Amino acid sequence: MSDTLSQVFEELRIPITNFFGSSELGLVMYARKAPYTQLRPCYGISPPLVYPISEYGPDGSRHVELWFTPEMSSHLTHQLACSQIPIKLEPFPGDGPHKGKLALNFEDIFQELTITNHSNSKSETVYVHVGRHTDEVRLGEGGFGSLNATTYEETLLSEISARIGQPGSYPWTVAGTQLFGNNMACTALVIQLSVNQDPGTDPQSNLPIHELYDSVEKTNDTLGLTGCRRVHTGKRTLIISSDGSFTHGPGSERLGGQGVLLSLTHKRTPKRWENVCKFKPWLDGLDFSVP
């Protein structure tokens, strides 16, 4: 659930409960009061093991992974004993008494916050879902379905290369792409370009916007994407340059001209959860109407 959807429920005074869980663990966290993005461990369930993956920010929050050992979850123990679905357990990488114990990693990224409970003035820890490590994009907020982001990005790169990759055609190459959509009503896309080492002419005078849009539409068609899963070039596609010299697309002004760029690994694959945080101002204001 996004901040926007949580605010809608709060403003309309619609009482809901937001649950988070998995088939392996059942329900493990919930939010019964606004903001509904702030999840707490369910009653009767051991708090998860917390593995930090970032330093504390200025607001005192940090990004973490949440892990569960079989001893912490009777549901997980039952699934391991009875289910025919393979469950991947890994040694917990954190410090402390649980270090090295086999545990289940959600493969989700959470923002860990310490807030004050106004009913009793005590501090408590809550978790806000940020994104996933995996390449699977799962839509939410009325958008149904999932798709593999890597498949989309690789197909898109092939289409773009066929259009602008010929020698002498355009002074631009693709530096990176990322498909967004987790907990969103529709998919969104960022394409990051970089200038060739020897462009010959002013790159700004020869931007391949039309070719990039055609590549996105062709990728949508090739993968059979419709409705919420289809990337809309006019509403939810952002094109940026690696040197921060330009941005093109609806809502680009929400990035504040800060030269926000995709974070990439040494293999040029996107750091998905990190990019969700960086591009959140842009994502939160998108037009998610279909078509």
Q: Which residues pair with 138 in a beta bridge?
A: 146
- Angle of helix 209-222 versus helix 149-164 axis, rounded to 10: 140
Token pair in block for residue 52 = 């930090």
For residue 3, pLDDT beyond 70: yes
What are the contacts of 274-282 at 24+ separation with CB within 8 A? 275/178, 275/180, 275/190, 276/130, 276/131, 276/180, 276/182, 277/63, 277/130, 277/131, 279/180, 279/190, 279/238, 279/255, 281/254, 281/255, 281/256, 282/238, 282/251, 282/252, 282/254, 282/255
Reported as a single tens digit per residue, the pLDDT across 86-118 is: 888 999 999 999 999 999 988 788 899 999 877
Among residues of the chain, what percentage have pLDDT more than 90? Answer: 49
Task: Enumerate the domain spans of the chain.
Answer: 3-131, 136-284
Query: What's 134's DSSP letter?
Result: S
CA-wise closest residue to 254 among 265, 266, 238:
238
Lowest mean pLDDT of 153-157, 169-173, 251-255, 264-268, name the range: 264-268
Separation CA 192–CA 243 (nearest Å): 10
pLDDT at 273: 82
pLDDT at 289: 87
Reported as a single tens digit per residue, the pLDDT across 145-185 is: 788 898 899 999 999 999 998 777 788 899 999 999 988 89
* CA 166 centroid distance within chain: 32
pLDDT at 143: 66
Per DSSP, which regions of 37-93 are E strands? 40-41, 49-52, 62-68, 90-91
pLDDT at 198: 64
CA dist 215 to 71, 109, 227, Å?
Answer: 49, 31, 18
Find the mean pLDDT for residues 19-28. 86
What is the number of other CB atoms lying within 10 angstroms of the CB of residue 26?
16
pLDDT at 5: 79
pLDDT at 266: 75
pLDDT at 48: 92
Find the mean pLDDT for residues 22-27. 84
Query: What residues contact 281, with CB distance under 8 A and at least 6 apart?
Result: 254, 255, 256
Confidence of residue 257 (pLDDT cuts 50, 70, 90): low
3-class DSSP state for residue 247? strand
pLDDT at 290: 76
For residue 121, pLDDT beyond 80: no
**Between 274 and 118, where is the model more confident?**
274
Averaged pLDDT of the chain: 88
pLDDT at 256: 76
CA dist 228 to 142, 180, 190, 248, 262, Å?
Answer: 9, 12, 17, 22, 23
Reported as a single tens digit per residue, the pLDDT across 198-234 is: 655 666 767 899 999 999 999 999 999 999 999 999 9
Residue with tokens 């086999």: 102
pTM above 0.85, yes or no: no
Q: Which residues pair with 178 in a beta bridge?
A: 190
Reported as a single tens digit per residue, the pLDDT across 32-65 is: 999 999 999 998 888 899 999 888 888 899 989 9
CA-wise closest residue to 48 among 28, 34, 21:
28
Helix (H) or strand (E) holding 1: none
Per the CB < 8 A criterion, the answer to whether 102 and 89 are in contact is yes
